[in-house]
Amino acid sequence: MDWFALVKHSVVYTATIYVMSLVLGAISIVGIGLVLLSHVLIDRGGLVRWWVISINNGQLDNVWLRFMVDQSLHILVLIGVLLI
């Protein structure tokens, strides 16, 4: 795994969320930190793999299922941060 690329991608994602939150209503600094941390953890893939196998009883070769789980986790984090 290329940690530099993952962290760079996560920082860009978090910065984009932060800029958009300025327009729609600011997210706290704690919320921004949670977005960054969760993005790194989700995009590492371990959580998604665990969810697909343990919760969905799916196969890892199902790319669509992995994609949907990944995106759902990101959306849940964003909803949670908005509620902080």
Q: What secondary structure, in 3-state letters, does the chain show? A: CCHHHHHHHHHHHHHHHHHHHHHHCCCCHHHHHHHHHHHHHHHHCHHHHHHHHHHCCCCCCCHHHHHHHHHHHHHHHHHHHHCC
pTM across the whole model: 0.87
Cα gap 78→84, rounded to integer Å: 10
Mean pLDDT of 16-22: 90
pLDDT tens figures, 23-62 = 887 788 899 999 999 999 999 988 999 999 998 887 888 8
